[in-house]
């Protein structure tokens, strides 16, 4: 996987991120390998490597070898070079994690939510992060920020949604980032849970193997993200990738968005719960679905068949429109249900992806589990710190974690591994 650097004067921040991204994606790399991958001059690579090593974001290690001369030094991310918190919020719980810059999960905390209003949730977020900071003391200047993932959050930190329920209606227009940053004293990054999960996959999941993929997220609804050249496509207003509201059955079931036949009416966990209980307010949705599946309940088996049919339609449309390297399927759906759906999807009908020169699978099961949205949220801060976006070259006032970190990090403030 190659990367492209720039020699433009305003490209210093971009080039630093580029080097970090190359190391993150490929693992330990020599300076010569970084030169080849990024296209930057050897002296530029040397200068950037020295700066990143100086502030403790990367470390250099000599390769073992039996040949003549001294083996080259490999650069890799220093796990102790930076940390981020991740918080996922839904109408039942708040899940908080702490990860390091290399993507290692260091600690986690789960708690129930009984009041989902912003006035109640924000102090709970602050309390959860404070608890993790006490359990794992960290240098303050090594905290890159906290990512918050919740259905409908835009990148500007204000809630936007196609439809509202008792949970989301509390948050409409709420200035999330502006309210939370003073409470925590660290940068705040917000996005919807599905896109955050996709960024998490791109950062340290199966998405690391791909620069262009589509991620379909099975949650209470259906969401996801399009990762294009390693970057999430957010659209003009941060509302792209609402896969759940792709119409897959003309004149079908009425959706909360006002349309009929939307994908999430057939494939979401809410639709599965309705299939077995004729309601969608079970506090233990995952347990109820898994129990029905284990019992061989014909209603859940019928839902799986229906979900596979409509998901297949969506996958073919996404392949024909975006031509991704693969489509990742994941989320908080119980793993046996996702496995059963994927088994019924294969073999997929023809699309532009039918003839694969690279032999990659058209669909890949992503990481799933209760911590995934929170891990994805944490990766928002990590991704911001280590991922190069060409748009950085054309912004005069870029808010960037890595340049800020380089300015404020002191060589003595970070422990060496």
- Alpha-carbon distance of 157 to 176, in angstroms, equals 5
Look at the chain and report how many structural domains it folds into.
3
Do 232 and 316 fall into the same domain?
Answer: yes
383, 402 contact by CB (below 8 A): no
Q: Which of 181, 292, 184, 160 is nearest to 236 (CA)?
A: 160
Do 362 and 381 fall into the same domain?
Answer: no
Q: Is residue 57 assigned to a domain? A: yes
**What Å distances lie between residue 165 and 123, 195, 218, 374, CA to CA?**
22, 20, 19, 22
Q: Is residue 295 assigned to a domain? A: yes
Q: Is residue 201 assigned to a domain? A: no
Radius of gyration of the CA atoms of the chain, in A: 22
Q: What is the pLDDT of residue 380?
A: 86
The CA-to-CA distance between both ends of the chain, in Å, stands at: 28
Q: Is residue 403 assigned to a domain? A: no
Do 144 and 168 fall into the same domain?
Answer: yes
Q: What is the pLDDT of residue 340?
A: 97
Q: What is the pLDDT of residue 386?
A: 67
Q: Which of 17, 204, 325 is nearest to 4 (CA)?
A: 17
Do 25 and 47 fall into the same domain?
Answer: yes
Mean pLDDT by 10 residues, the chain (417 residues): 52 80 85 90 91 89 65 86 91 88 90 85 93 92 90 67 62 81 90 87 83 91 89 82 94 92 94 82 77 94 97 97 94 93 94 80 85 87 66 35 51 57
Q: What is the pLDDT of residue 409?
A: 58
Q: What is the pLDDT of residue 399?
A: 36
Phi, then psi, of 398 in degrees rounded to 5: -85, 125
Count CA atoms within 13 Å of residue 236 on its CB side.
Answer: 0
Residue 68: give its domain's CATH number. Answer: 1.10.10.10
Domain housing 69: 9-77
Q: Which of 181, 79, 195, 198 is nearest to 129 (CA)?
A: 181
Do 243 and 328 fall into the same domain?
Answer: yes
The pTM (predicted TM-score) of the whole model is 0.82
Do 352 and 305 fall into the same domain?
Answer: yes
Q: What is the pLDDT of residue 397?
A: 33
Residue 135: give its domain's CATH number. Answer: 3.30.420.40
Determine the longest span between alpha carbons in the chain, in angstroms.
72
Do 272 and 232 fall into the same domain?
Answer: yes
Do 187 and 332 fall into the same domain?
Answer: no
Q: What is the pLDDT of residue 311?
A: 97
Q: What is the pLDDT of residue 225?
A: 92
- Tokens of residue 157, six digits: 């930190």
Q: Is residue 398 assigned to a domain? A: no
Phi, then psi, of 205 in degrees rounded to 5: -110, -155
């Amino acid at each position: 996987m190659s990367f492209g650097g720039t020699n433009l004067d305003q490209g210093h921040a971009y080039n630093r991120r580029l080097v970090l991204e190359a190391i993150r994606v490929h693992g330990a790399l020599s300076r010569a390998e970084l030169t080849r991958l990024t296209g930057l001059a050897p002296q530029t690579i040397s200068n950037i490597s020295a700066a990143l090593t100086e502030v403790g974001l990367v470390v250099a290690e000599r390769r073992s070898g039996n040949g003549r001369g001294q083996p080259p030094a490999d650069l890799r991310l220093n796990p102790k070079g930076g940390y981020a918190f991740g918080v996922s919020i839904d109408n039942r719980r708040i899940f908080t994690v702490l990860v390091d810059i290399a993507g290692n999960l260091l600690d986690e905390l789960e708690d129930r939510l009984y009041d989902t209003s912003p006035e109640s949730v924000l102090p709970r977020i602050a309390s959860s992060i404070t608890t993790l900071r006490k359990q794992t003391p960290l240098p303050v200047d090594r905290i890159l920020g906290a990512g918050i993932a919740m259905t409908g959050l835009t990148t500007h930190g204000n809630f936007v949604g196609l439809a509202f329920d008792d949970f989301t209606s509390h948050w409409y227009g709420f200035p999330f980032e502006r309210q939370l940053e003073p409470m925590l004293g660290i940068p705040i990054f917000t996005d919807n849970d599905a896109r955050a999960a996709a960024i998490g996959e791109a950062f340290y999941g199966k998405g690391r193997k791909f620069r262009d993929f589509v991620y379909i997220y099975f949650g209470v609804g259906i969401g996801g993200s399009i990762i294009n050249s390693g970057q999430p496509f957010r659209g003009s207003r941060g509302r792209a990738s609402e896969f759940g509201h792709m119409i897959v059955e003309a004149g079908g079931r009425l959706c909360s968005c006002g349309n009929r036949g939307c994908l999430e009416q057939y494939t979401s966990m809410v639709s599965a719960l309705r299939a077995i209980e004729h309601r969608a307010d079970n506090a233990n949705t995952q347990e109820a679905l898994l129990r029905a599946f284990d019992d061989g309940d014909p209603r859940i088996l019928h839902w799986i068949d229906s979900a596979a049919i409509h998901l297949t339609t969506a996958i073919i449309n996404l392949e024909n429109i975006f031509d991704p390297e693969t489509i990742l399927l994941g989320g908080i759906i119980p793993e046996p249900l996702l496995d059963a759906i994927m088994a019924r999807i294969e073999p997929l009908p023809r699309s532009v992806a039918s003839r694969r020169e690279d032999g990659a699978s058209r669909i890949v099961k992503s990481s799933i589990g209760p911590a995934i949205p929170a891990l994805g949220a944490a990766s928002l801060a990590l991704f911001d710190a280590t991922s190069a976006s060409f748009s950085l070259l054309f912004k005069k006032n870029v808010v960037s974690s890595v340049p800020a970190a380089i300015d404020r990090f002191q060589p003595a403030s970070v422990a060496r591994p």
